[in-house]
Each structure stands twice: as C-alpha cells, then as structure tokens.
C-alpha cells in the first residue's frame, strides 16, 4: 500500500502505488535488540480484510486484502481504490515465505502503471512502470536480492506473524519491486494502545517503520493478531479495518 510509498508531496498517489509496502516490507530473517527473530509461517492463515481509506475523518476509498493457499504456497491479492486511483496487486510466495512473483497493475489520473517481477535463485527479474515526480518511470529489474528479503508489497500480510512485544525493534531488509532496490529499515514497537476503528475496539501493539521517505505506523491487535489500522506520519490519512 507499500514507493509504495514523492510521499510527502503527494501522499495518496504514493500510497496507492504501493508506497507503504515499498516503504515497509519486512524480511523473513530479522534481528531484534535481544537476538535473531523470524516471521513465523505457522501464524500465517488464509484471511480477508477490508479497510476504509480515511482522510480527515472522511472515507474516500477502500482496500481489500486476501491471503489464500495455493497448491505449493500462498497468494496475497490486494485491491485498492479511491478517486482517480486504482490498483490490484498479486504476490505469490512459498510456505516458508520465500518470494516467487509480484504482479501489479493500476491507474493514477488516467496513467497506467505496472509491476511484473519474478524471484528465483537470489535474483529478481522483470519490469516496472511506476509514478515519479515528472510522470511515469519505466525500468528493467534484474538484480540480486538479499537472502530472506521480502517484496515490499507483502508487509501488511506478514506483519502480524512477527514476535511483537514491548520495546522490540527489528532491522528490515526491504526489496522494492517497483524500484529494483533493497533498503534497510527499522520496525519498532513503540507502545501498546487501545484503538477504535469501524470494526471495533482493539488492544494493539503500535509498530512504527522508519527509514523511508515517510514513517508508517501499524496497529496490530494482540488477540488474533492482524493489522487493524495504518497511519502515515503527520499526514491526515489512515487505513482502518471495517467489518466484513
């Protein structure tokens, strides 16, 4: 919801071209202040979540994200839409959370964007056309990817599988499939909060991811862990979980 993720100048466009996931995707192998930690594949279960896109307290769009099992792994499908913008993303990954492929299509103000990248034997290959300050930018992606890195578009789908707890901090290798680059970021549990969203009131861990152009906050429920809210620094925008 990822470069995903420009963001300070045109936040809605950045977000809907997977800015938050580009800013934020987490790796499979993390290190915390207290030692090595990993995402836990056993915590990943098929699900569907819907979010309202809120700007200054008013709903202006929606996001639906689904994770389903495939014969040899999982597929995440995310659909996002609001005035002038739409986006559909599909990420395929193995049962051990190894990246396989990402495909993304969308429109921003009538301009087409697309990402088509496959992962194999430590390399990412494909192409991407994404927004840039002067318009769309097209690149060929053909580069090495660090062991354990996760495509930025998978952040929200994996965040709840981390061993979150008071004061924990994680170093995050993030591969941006829309930019063809890897960036190290930091995810830190900054506290416990009770938050109210359209789906109800939840006791959560507040996790802030920094290192990109905009710090992004995730609120992850403690019971039956899932992301229930996303915020984008000081921007008056949030994604809030709604009832199915």
What is the tens place of the pLDDT at every residue in 9-46?
Answer: 234 333 444 444 443 333 333 333 333 336 789 899 89
Residue 19 counted as domain residue: yes
Residue 97 counted as domain residue: yes
Flag the least confident range among 92-96, 136-140, 158-162, 201-205. 158-162
Residue 84 counted as domain residue: yes
Residue 82 counted as domain residue: yes
pLDDT at 10: 35
pLDDT at 244: 66
Contact 26, 159 (CB under 8 A): yes
- For residues 21 and 72, what is the distance between their CA atoms, to the nearest angstrom? 24
Residue 6 counted as domain residue: no
CA-wise closest residue to 98 among 211, 20, 175: 175
The number of beta carbons lying within 10 Å of the beta carbon of residue 111 is 11
Burial class (CB in 10 A: 0-12, 13-18, 19+), 35: exposed
What is the tens place of the pLDDT at every residue in 84-103?
Answer: 889 999 999 999 999 999 99
- For residues 241 and 201, what is the distance between their CA atoms, to the nearest angstrom? 10
Q: Which two tokens stand for residue 137?
A: 């930018």
- For residues 151 and 202, what is the distance between their CA atoms, to the nearest angstrom? 28
Cβ-count burial 142-180 (b if 16+ within 10 Å, e if not): eeebeebbbbbbbbbbbbbbbebeeebbbbbbbbbbbbb
Residue 2 counted as domain residue: no
pTM: 0.83
Q: Where in the sequence is the domain holding 224, given as residue range(s)?
A: 11-242
Residue 43 counted as domain residue: yes
The strand pair at 58-70 and 47-55 is best described as: antiparallel
What is the tens place of the pLDDT at every residue in 186-195?
Answer: 889 999 999 9
> Looking at the 3D structure of the chain, how many domains does it have?
1
Handedness of CA 170, 240, 69, 78 (dihedral sign): negative
Report percent pLDDT > 90 for the chain. Answer: 59
Strand partners, 230: 218, 239
Residue 3 counted as domain residue: no
Q: Which two tokens stand for residue 51?
A: 């979010």
User: In sequence order, what are the residues at sequence separation of 6 or more whose Cβ sits closer than 8 angstroms to the Cβ of residue 48?
Assistant: 64, 65, 66, 67, 244
The rounded mean pLDDT for the chain is 84
CA-wise closest residue to 26 among 130, 164, 166, 143: 164
């Amino acid at each position: 919801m990822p470069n995903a993720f420009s963001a300070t100048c045109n936040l809605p466009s950045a977000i809907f071209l997977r800015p938050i996931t580009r800013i934020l995707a987490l790796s499979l192998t993390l290190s915390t202040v207290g030692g090595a930690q990993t995402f836990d594949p056993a915590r990943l279960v098929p699900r569907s979540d819907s979010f309202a896109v809120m700007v200054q307290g008013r709903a202006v769009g929606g996001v639906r994200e689904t994770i389903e099992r495939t014969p040899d792994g999982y597929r995440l499908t995310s659909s996002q839409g609001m005035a002038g913008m739409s986006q559909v993303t599909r990420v395929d990954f193995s049962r051990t959370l190894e990246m396989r492929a990402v495909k993304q299509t969308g429109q921003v103000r009538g301009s087409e964007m697309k990402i088509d990248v496959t992962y194999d034997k430590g390399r990412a290959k494909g192409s991407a056309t994404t927004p840039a300050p002067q318009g769309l930018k097209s690149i060929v992606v053909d580069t090495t990817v660090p062991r354990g890195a996760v495509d930025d578009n998978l952040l929200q789908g994996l965040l709840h599988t981390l061993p979150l707890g008071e004061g924990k901090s994680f170093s995050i290798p993030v591969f941006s499939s829309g930019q063809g680059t890897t960036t190290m970021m930091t995810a830190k549990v900054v506290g416990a909060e009770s938050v109210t969203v359209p789906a109800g009131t939840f006791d959560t861990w507040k996790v802030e991811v920094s290192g990109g152009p905009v710090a992004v906050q995730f609120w992850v429920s403690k019971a039956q862990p899932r992301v229930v809210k996303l915020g984008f620094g000081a921007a008056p925008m949030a994604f809030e979980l709604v009832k199915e």
